[in-house]
Amino acid sequence: MNDSTRTVLLVLGVLLAALSVAKLVPAIVDLNSDAQSAHAFLGSAAVTGFVGVTLILMMRGGGRNLTARGAILVTGGSWAVLSVAAAVPLKLAVGDMSWTDALFEATSGMTTTGATVMTNLQDQPAGVLIWRSILQWIGGIGIIVTAMAIWPMLGIGGMQLFRLENSDKSDKALPRAGQIAAAVGIIYLVLTFICFLAYIATDMTPFDAAAHAMTTVATGGFSTHDGSIGAFTDGGSDIVALVFMILSALPFVLYLRAVQGRPDRLWVDPQVRGFLAVAGAAIAVLTVWILVHEPPASGQLPAWRLASVNAISIMTGTGYATADFSLWGGGAVGIFFCLMFIGGCAGSTTCSVKIFRYQIAAGAIGRHIERQARPHVVRPVRYGGKALDPDAVRSVMSFFFIFFATWVVAAALLSLIGLDPVTAISGAATSIANVGPGLGPIIGPAGTFKPLPDAAKWVMIVTMLIGRLEVFTMLVLLTPGFWRR
């Protein structure tokens, strides 16, 4: 066994051991209120911990080399393995949950998608609800670290543009990428705690505040109530969610640089400007739409508040809802559908395509059009004031093709399984973009994914993993050539 394989198994062991410790939290929460749930989490923690510690002991020592092949394996493998391990206590704690539903819920949590098969959330064991939030919180910090440490090394989808360890010293936040990851983790924890305090100030209970703080900063969207964040609007919790969804959509490494005395990086970064511009435009259009059409499903909240919270929620892939926006009319539904494919900034907890890729694609298309008119002009595509390597541009354009091709294939499979066109198309979109709610009466903001056939749920489980891991990571793992020597 080579050093890279040993490192992959060691990392998986460490992650499983950490997950087993996390399972003790819901076990303690349910210890005096729901014996079945508490025993499910305790038993699952023991098994997961045993497997994790065994891998650590077997793979300790030796080198710590990680090849590109090993990086792909540890990234894709960790999300898949942790999703399976996280599903076990859900199946055991919730009596009427099938194994397919348990894996769907766990995968949705780990990938911060937020699509759920659970109903009557307010009647579920408290440990189960906090476990769902913990899964999303783990997935959120996991994706930030992966985006900084793994994908830039592999050059997946243009992420090589954010390779911190190869930047010059003047552009480094800290001397080593590992230190940067640790510092960003602390910022993530602090931001979650501040969000928790803000929810407390809106008269949420400490339990609801803790659960929602984790899923807000992770832009995951799991809630403790069937009404999502809309059940807590009286105290203004939706405004807190709005603020922290926006903060979580920005590159976390920029917060580190702001702490180090460079707050200007937050507003000069092209991603941040692009994200705020698109978000502002979407909010403005939706606000006008609500004022003009006065849809019956808009509730009693002001138009700007409804438009802001729901637009940012879908754009960032959080999936909170304060109203059933699928009933707002065709124009509004079309805007929400497009927002699913936007996403936030690279290095944030958000999902989907992400702003920087649209900016680079627009620059590449502009240069191509210019060359048609002036064939002898050689002008590189620029981003953030720097000329881009052609390989980075090709990576971005390849990502677009594979991302949307995967969406089309997933939608076709869901249609063949028997889903209606709206459910199939929006279901594929929300799973590949890790958004949460789809469109229509079944999986829309007021529905759940529980009524879907098991085959459709399995398609979405795979699609959620593909979307969360920037498409290429999982697709490479699914090719036979990857497993050949």
Annotated binding site for K(+): 112-113, 220, 318, 434-435
- Contact status, residue 448 vs residue 117, Cβ threshold 8 Å: yes
Rounded Cα gap, residues 74 and 17, in angstroms: 15
- Contact status, residue 431 vs residue 410, Cβ threshold 8 Å: yes
Closest CA to 163 of 400, 386, 466: 386
Angle between helices 330-339 and 270-293 (to 10 degrees): 160
DSSP secondary structure string, 373-390? H-TT-----EETTEEPPH
Sequence-distant (6+) residues with CB within 8 A of 245 are 216, 219, 312, 313, 316, 318, 320
DSSP secondary structure string, 315-348? HTT----SS-GGGS-HHHHHHHHHHTTT---TTS
> Which residues are known binding-site members?
112-113, 220, 318, 434-435
- Contact status, residue 341 vs residue 433, Cβ threshold 8 Å: yes
Q: What is the 3-state secondary structure (H, E, C) of 178-195?
A: HHHHHHHHHHHHHHHHHH
CA count, 13 A, side-chain hemisphere, 383: 25
- Residue 363 tokens read as 């620059």
Rounded Cα gap, residues 44 and 124, in angstroms: 19
Sequence-distant (6+) residues with CB within 8 A of 24 are 41, 42, 45
Query: What three-state secondary structure class fits 471?
Result: coil
Rounded Cα gap, residues 386 and 45, in angstroms: 49
Sequence-distant (6+) residues with CB within 8 A of 239 are 202, 305, 309
CA count, 13 A, side-chain hemisphere, 197: 5
- Residue 389 tokens read as 């390597």
